[in-house]
Amino acid sequence: MDAEAFLTNRMVQDAVVRNIEIIGEASHNIETLSPDFAAAHPELPLAFAYQMRNAVAHGYFKVDLQIVWNAIRNELPQPSQRVRALIADMSGS
């Protein structure tokens, strides 16, 4: 999907924003419930994910979809790959 398709598809926008909320809330839970894990993995942008969650969850009609698009295309892939690698390491795969 390209930026134009994202910016014109309300259903996809809503799904992406909802997933940002879920990722952010999970990140906050990791920071508060598993601080040792969070400290051991400073490469995971847990605080940033929670801040992004707060921005989209409380932004209501002020969410800048171009910023969301840039985040999912440029910021999310690296942490996503790192999380997948951590899961594989923890499960012994």
Question: Which among 18, 28, 53, 82 is annotated as catalytic?
Answer: 53
Question: Which among 58, 73, 82, 84 is annotated as catalytic?
Answer: 58
Annotated active-site residue 41? The verdict is no
Distance CA 55, CA 78 (A): 21
Distance CA 73, CA 71 (A): 6
Q: Are 82 and 43 in contact (CB under 8 A)?
A: yes
Q: Which residue has the tokens 């906050």?
A: 28
Q: Are 3 and 22 in contact (CB under 8 A)?
A: no
Catalytic residue numbers read 53, 58
